[in-house]
Structure 1
Amino acid sequence: MLDILKKPLSRIAFAITGISLLACTMGNGIAKAEGPTFQDVASQVFGQAVGPDNDGTLYVFGLTAKYTQPKYVDGRGPYKSFLKFLPSIRWYDPEHYWTPGSQNEGVFKNEECVLCHTVQTPTIVKDWKKSAHGNLEIRRGLGVKGKDGKPVEGTVGCDVCHGNDHQKLFMPTYKNCGECHPKETAEHRSGGLGSHTHAFTVNVLEFSWHVGKPAEEVAGCAECHAIAENRCDGCHTRHVFSPAEARKPTACRFCHMGIDHDEWAMYNTSIHGCLYEAESATMDWSKPSKKGNYRVPACAYCHMQDGNHNPQQFGTIYSDMGMFQVDRGAPKHKAKRDAWIKKCQDCHSPRFAADKLAEMDAGVNLSFTKWREAAAVIVGCFLDGVVDPMPEGSPPDWYGHYTFSLLPGGDPRFYATSNLERLGLEMICYLTGNVYKAYAHMSMYNQTYGNGSAFEQDRKLIEIKTEAAKLRRFAAIEKKIGLEHKSEAFWQHGEYLDLLPGWIRKPGDVDVEWFKRTDIPHRANADAGVEVHHH
């Protein structure tokens, strides 16, 4: 039994409360504290020694542990000077990070690979034998032909995708797949900003929510986006690589879900999603996603029409996950609108399709009135200096700026910032964006009541105004009594906050040549002509 259980509660409460009086900042040397650290005080209270968090000790509430950074690999892209990844990135961006790690030596034939891996990794071998790569009957049935135009008789063995020298094995990327699937690869690589084509190179290497946080915290972001851009087995998983699997909406669910882009919930709660659950067991998923083959449209039916591997070609107008406003029914977008109506005519009348799409336009435009109302309240509080903390009282954002997060040159963030700014970001990203996704998928419940709905926006707007009203009341009281308020130090420094790259980034840390590349459509960023500065 730990000593903590024997101490009087009054003593524990007094000790923990007293910690707030100490300068207990931990971290990377940004603002080294004098005197005892939080862990030192907690050690006295709980009777447990301070130690590193990676030594296997069971720390009571984690209060006496010291953070130990994991092993990182250097990032790449414009912020490679301070961007880091966990070593697991090698599986998701193998072209840049993969290194052979086999303990075996030798050059092997495919049948030898199969024989050994039947014991070592039997599921992989079984999957391969069921695939069009490993099953000759399937290959002949598909009419697969080689570069010479003649039917292919051999299998696609392990060596084709991984090499045959065990000391030089490689993990395949879309480039390897493109050797046999040039059409699909060309389509996959033809998207613009917001597409699978640049999901990692732009939306991770240049994107604030990834660059601005420690690598272990956002590893899932990097991996999901890297699969979409760098590999082909995100939709039809290895080693079966089944087209039928990729035609089901569950193939898209892996990435297209969650509070910030909840396409799966919107589809799943629509009439299409409900019919999918009812009909999926009897649907023949081996058929191409073409008109007349399916009673119920899944994601690929609408967004990868006729098997085209560039879903963006069949989207609407890219609007940064719905955070930017655009009326998709405006005359300038008539060609896109007409194409969608034509697709909907596989099952619906053109008037029904036009009415539902116009309903989407109206719902999206109305949703932005709420956001602008909220933004006016938030920015007004900033201009009046009542936000707590003001930007200079928070850690610098990853640009190295002390700029209000909703203004140009600032980094919109839901961490290391004021509660008012956090609420605002959640409203525009989580709610306003998903209002569009709900309407676009005819998820009637979510349009109004549910996840990312109009009524959720109402609640967030009230929360923002409530927070703003409190801040203004506090400011009025402070002015009346002559109190000059200063943000608490804990807003700017702490064991976690001092790990953020805004503290690390220095002038000249940006690879400006990266933004001169013409092969990628760069995100709008605050690095164009803006220098880094700190307190």
Structure 2
Amino acid sequence: MIRSVRGLLFMLAIIAGCTLLPMNFCKSANADDAAPTFQDVASSIYGQAVGDDDDGTMYVFGLTARYTGPDRVLPGEGKFKNIFNYLPVTALYYNPDDYYVSTQKVEGEFKSDECVLCHSIQTPRIVVDWKASKHSKGGKTAAMKAEQVVGCDACHGNNHQELTMPSVTTCGKCHAKEKREHLSGGQGSHGSHTIWDISVTEFAWQIGKPAEEVAGCAQCHGIAGNRCDGCHTRHQFKPSEARKPDTCGVCHMGVDHAEYEFWYNSFHGKIYMMEGDTWDWDKKMTPKNYRTPTCAYCHIGEDGNHNVQHMSTDYAHMGMFQLDRGAPQHKAKRDGWIKRCQGCHSPRFAAEQLYAMDEQIHISFTKWREAVGVIVGLYLEGLFDPMPADLAPDYTGGHTMNLLPGGAPRFYNVSNIERLAVEMIVYQVTGVYKAAAHFSTDDVTYNAGAFVMDRQLVKIKDEASKLRRISTLEKEVGIEHQAFDFWKHGEYTDLLTGYKRQEGDIVEDACDHGDHPCFGEEH
């Protein structure tokens, strides 16, 4: 495939990030001058013409494709709405109250039985599910004056050209108690003011990147905060679905929020795996009905309280902040947990388990502080490679150290040692807390917590050692290192929203999350 020695050198240059060629030779696809782009070089090797990535061509390793970006986006919301957009599906369907607009061409107003008749052909599965639901059988909630069938028009409206997409607001018309509880939680809950308005519209991990890259984050947060069918799936909306831990596992998994996986690896999870398919999930969450606790058993409870924080430990930013949950001022919360565990365990056993969690958390922070001490020393000596000012601007439009106030933790557009530190606090420190809280004895030590932190601390020290040694050698020979341009520019790096931010772009009074504090207020 590579046709000559020169072609081989070109290929090596591409693999090495163009460092084997003159600095002005390899440009990103966004360059304004006439110099060959990266795609031009790849084209000369593979013999494939450069083209747009959305034209249907299959590009060899993607090397000759030009990034085009989405041609349809919806504007963001909140204080950063001028620098961040949503893909249509994310806004329309995961925040329908603010974004959904019907585009149906069918005219007319229809009754529910007429909807069912037509959709038995158009979308038959949802009709089957609705017929299996309590909505189709008729019933009464505290908000209703009389029993009624909840048909299609009750949730979507009856004017086919003005249909609505159901949200928490829609469901709350009949389920007022559940809506009130759902919205009452603070940060760390499923309430839309926090899980969406703060953790999506104002959070650096989200607003610092292109919309298409972080759509998955917004969709998880949106369905949990703005809709009810993240836990009660359409169109059956069965409570039994929300009682099963598999439903929670759709969102609560992955390296930074692995609650489902940790629970699944505990004895509780193993009992569920062995016999959960024999349980009657239509029964309330009580010790008499379920042999082992699930997510809903602990966080929702027998009374079905939809504020998951009513049975959570005090929120500490996913476990990234250190907190002794066994301290006297948190006694009410601790006693509540011990009582919940008493469905199966003695209060002494439960208390000792939680005490062990406290101590495992505390020692994890000693490793974190040791790592940060090493990193801050490098920063103060100007030994990061690159230093913040040598990077593309972050979401603030400026350059902040990743871990200092104002520089929200991020995994991208940072030096390697900062990335290692963020992974330590976001993945491993929180992993210790969450594994211990969900009684995963293997994960808290081996798989995700203590021993993984050991390796991370060694990595950080090793990187710090190399940076200091290289700096010493450079001083000895009189070299003044300048960060390479590829830290600041590149086809992807140029798309980061920090480059888009202009004076006046941030609308400080556009926050929409009640009394909860804004993220990044200092900016």
Name the counterpart of 1:104. 106
Deviation for aligned residue 1:39: 1.1
Residue pairs, 1:299-314, within 5 angstroms: 299-305=295-301, 306-314=303-311
1:312 counterpart SS class: helix
Deviation for aligned residue 1:35: 1.6
| Distance in 1, Cα, partners of 2:333 & 2:473 | 55
Deviation for aligned residue 1:351: 0.3
1:238 counterpart SS class: coil
* Paired letter, 2:69: Q
Change (3 A) 1:404 1:189: same
Whether contact under 8 Å (2:2, 2:45) holds in the other structure is no
What does the per-residue CA deviation read over 1:144-164, in whole Å, with 9 as the maximum and x for residues that have no partner? Answer: 56633x4x1x31100000011
Name the counterpart of 2:252. 256
- Structure 2 residues without counterparts, runs of 5 or longer: none
1:234 equivalenced with 2:236 (yes/no):
no
2:509 counterpart SS class: helix
Deviation for aligned residue 1:523: 4.6
| Distance in 2, Cα, partners of 1:319 & 1:307 | 24
Deviation for aligned residue 1:13: 2.0
Identify the range of structure 1 (351-360 vs 379-388) with the bigger mean alpha-carbon deviation: 379-388
Match of 1:400 among 397, 415, 419: 397
| Distance in 2, Cα, partners of 1:309 & 1:33 | 57
Whether contact under 8 Å (1:397, 1:411) holds in the other structure is no
Name the counterpart of 2:329. 332
Residue pairs, 1:491-510, within 5 angstroms: 491-510=487-506
Deviation for aligned residue 1:396: 1.0
Calculate the TM-score normalised by the size of structure 1: 0.93
* Paired letter, 1:233: D
- Structure 1 residues without counterparts, runs of 5 or longer: 531-535
1:82 counterpart SS class: coil
| Distance in 1, Cα, partners of 2:43 & 2:324 | 59
What does the per-residue CA deviation read over 1:163-187, in whole Å, with 9 as the maximum and x for residues that have no partner? Answer: 1111111101111101110111110
Change (3 A) 1:315 1:33: farther
1:53 equivalenced with 2:53 (yes/no):
yes
| Distance in 2, Cα, partners of 1:158 & 1:388 | 59
| Distance in 2, Cα, partners of 1:313 & 1:387 | 43
Name the counterpart of 2:11. 16
1:293 equivalenced with 2:293 (yes/no):
no
Identify the range of structure 1 (313-322 vs 14-23) with the bigger mean alpha-carbon deviation: 14-23
Deviation for aligned residue 1:292: 2.3
Change (3 A) 1:434 1:523: farther
Deviation for aligned residue 1:247: 0.5
| Distance in 2, Cα, partners of 1:282 & 1:127 | 22
| Distance in 2, Cα, partners of 1:6 & 1:164 | 63
Identify the range of structure 1 (423-432 vs 283-292) with the bigger mean alpha-carbon deviation: 283-292
Name the counterpart of 1:475. 471
| Distance in 1, Cα, partners of 2:254 & 2:389 | 32
Name the counterpart of 2:356. 359
Name the counterpart of 1:127. 129
Deviation for aligned residue 1:58: 1.2
| Distance in 2, Cα, partners of 1:57 & 1:304 | 50
Calculate the TM-score normalised by the size of structure 2: 0.95
1:490 counterpart SS class: helix
Identify the range of structure 1 (284-293 vs 201-210) with the bigger mean alpha-carbon deviation: 284-293
Change (3 A) 1:50 1:325: same
* Sequence identity (%): 53
Name the counterpart of 2:187. 193
Match of 1:430 among 398, 408, 427: 427
* Paired letter, 1:56: G
* Paired letter, 1:14: L
* Paired letter, 2:44: Q
1:485 equivalenced with 2:468 (yes/no):
no
What does the per-residue CA deviation read over 1:320-364, in whole Å, with 9 as the maximum and x for residues that have no partner? Answer: 111111010111111111111111111110000110000000000
What does the per-residue CA deviation read over 1:362-389, in whole Å, with 9 as the maximum and x for residues that have no partner? Answer: 0000000001111111111111111100
Whether contact under 8 Å (1:131, 1:242) holds in the other structure is yes
Name the counterpart of 2:27. 25
Whether contact under 8 Å (1:26, 1:32) holds in the other structure is no
Identify the range of structure 1 (232-241 vs 406-415) with the bigger mean alpha-carbon deviation: 406-415
* Paired letter, 1:363: Q
Residue pairs, 1:72-111, within 5 angstroms: 72-89=73-90, 90-111=92-113
| Distance in 1, Cα, partners of 2:275 & 2:453 | 34
| Distance in 1, Cα, partners of 2:185 & 2:143 | 27
Name the counterpart of 2:459. 463
1:410 equivalenced with 2:407 (yes/no):
yes
Whether contact under 8 Å (1:25, 1:32) holds in the other structure is no
Whether contact under 8 Å (1:187, 1:310) holds in the other structure is yes
What does the per-residue CA deviation read over 1:420-468, in whole Å, with 9 as the maximum and x for residues that have no partner? Answer: 0100000000111111000001100001111x21000001111111111
Deviation for aligned residue 1:68: 0.2
Whether contact under 8 Å (1:260, 1:433) holds in the other structure is yes
Change (3 A) 1:379 1:34: farther
2:135 counterpart SS class: coil
Match of 1:370 among 352, 363, 367: 367
What does the per-residue CA deviation read over 1:87-115, in whole Å, with 9 as the maximum and x for residues that have no partner? Answer: 11201111111111212112111111101
Deviation for aligned residue 1:419: 0.5
Deviation for aligned residue 1:16: 2.8
Name the counterpart of 2:269. 273
What does the per-residue CA deviation read over 1:460-519, in whole Å, with 9 as the maximum and x for residues that have no partner? Answer: 11111111111111000000000000011001100000000111112221111135x671
1:157 equivalenced with 2:151 (yes/no):
yes
| Distance in 1, Cα, partners of 2:141 & 2:407 | 53
2:474 counterpart SS class: helix
Name the counterpart of 1:533. none
Identify the range of structure 1 (317-326 vs 274-283) with the bigger mean alpha-carbon deviation: 274-283
Change (3 A) 1:145 1:339: closer
| Distance in 2, Cα, partners of 1:509 & 1:400 | 10
Change (3 A) 1:181 1:43: same
* Paired letter, 1:412: P
Deviation for aligned residue 1:301: 0.6
| Distance in 1, Cα, partners of 2:441 & 2:56 | 49
Identify the range of structure 1 (68-77 vs 354-363) with the bigger mean alpha-carbon deviation: 68-77
* Paired letter, 1:39: Q
| Distance in 2, Cα, partners of 1:34 & 1:480 | 40
1:168 equivalenced with 2:165 (yes/no):
no
* Paired letter, 1:98: Y
Cα RMSD, aligned residues only: 1.5
Name the counterpart of 1:449. 446
Deviation for aligned residue 1:270: 0.5
